[in-house]
Amino acid sequence: MNAFVKGNPDLCMGCRTCMVACVVSHTGRHIFELDPDDYTFNPKLHMVKTRAISVPVQCKHCENPACMAACPQKCIHMEDGTVFIDTENCIGCKACMEACPVGAIDMAPVSGVYQPDGKERYVANKCDLCREQSGGPACIRVCPTEALKLVSYEEIADTAQERRLAAAKANADGSLGAAAQAK
């Protein structure tokens, strides 16, 4: 099963360091030392702020990815627990963007590559869990409030098991069960 990065809105303070780290990790450029006009900023996760919460949203690395099924170019692959986009053959058709229920996919320009009409080439852009970098997802490493973590299926399954056990115990101990009512 695929793991994914999950933000906690209770801990997130909306500083967007995760977005910066994502760009640095994927472009390899030291953007703090550059003029903001000299680089394109296209993070693979996005900070969402509503009146009540702030939290970054990124790809859930679904087991049956709608994006992967929608791609006419067969650019989206699932390997080693990661759903990732091979942008080489991407045509920017937005089918994956439309298919994704999370809004995790964006279209980003490939800097310096132009189409005949002068517009930069745009391709799909989403979280790949920093699969080509060592040290795991950069967003998790840099978050100052530790609001991001990598969640595995095993962890979810273990938690579910614990919850079932707790629910059963509460049933056995408390007044909810049929046995308790019969007494």
Partner 1 sequence: MAKQLGAFVVGDSDKCTGCKACELACFTVHNQKSNGVGRTVGTVSVPVMPRLFLVKGETFSVPVQCKHCEDAPCLNACTKKAISRVDNQVIIDEKKCMGCKDCMMACPFGVIMLAQVYDRGKVLRQTTGEAVKGAFKCDLCAGREAGPACVEVCPHQALRYVDPVEERKEKMRRAAETLAITKTL
Distance in Å, CB of 60 to partner 1, minimum: 8
Determine, following the binding rule CB under 8 A, whether residue 66 of this chain makes contact with partner 1: no
Nearer to partner 1, 53 or 167 (CB): 53
Which residues, 2 to 31, sit near partner 1 by CB under 8 A?
Answer: 6-10
Binder of partner 1 out of 67, 105, 130, 139 (CB under 8 A): 105
50 lines the binding site for partner 1 (CB under 8 A)? yes
Taking the chain, what is the end-to-end CA distance rounded to the nearest angstrom? 45
How far is the C-alpha of 135 from the C-alpha of 104, rounded, in Å?
22
Rounded Cα distance between 97 and 105, Å, is: 5
Contact residues for 55 (Cβ-Cβ < 8 A; gap 6+): 7, 8, 9, 12, 47, 48, 147
The tally of CA atoms less than 13 A away on the side-chain side of residue 69 is 8
62 binds partner 1 (CB under 8 A): no
- Residue 162: both structure tokens together: 């614990």
Q: Are 126 and 85 in contact (CB under 8 A)?
A: yes
Which is closer to partner 1, CB of 83 or CB of 100? 100
Number of residues forming the site for partner 1 (CB under 8 A): 41
Identify the CA nearest to 82 among candidates 123, 133, 147, 117: 133
Binding region for partner 1 (CB under 8 A) out of 24-32, 98-106, 135-143, 166-174:
98-106
Does the protein bind partner 1 through residue 104 (CB under 8 A)?
A: yes
For residue 20, give the H/E element and its range: helix 17-27
Binding map of partner 1 across residues 113-152, x = CB under 8 A, - = no contact: --xxx-x-xxx---------------------------x-
35 in contact with partner 1 (CB under 8 A)? no
Q: Under 8 Å CB-to-CB from 164, ≥6 apart: which residues? A: none
Interface residue with partner 1 among 20, 48, 78, 142 (CB under 8 A) is 48
Interface positions with partner 1 (CB under 8 A) = 6-10, 46, 48, 50, 52-53, 55, 57, 72-73, 90-95, 97-98, 100-107, 115-117, 119, 121-123, 151, 155-156, 159
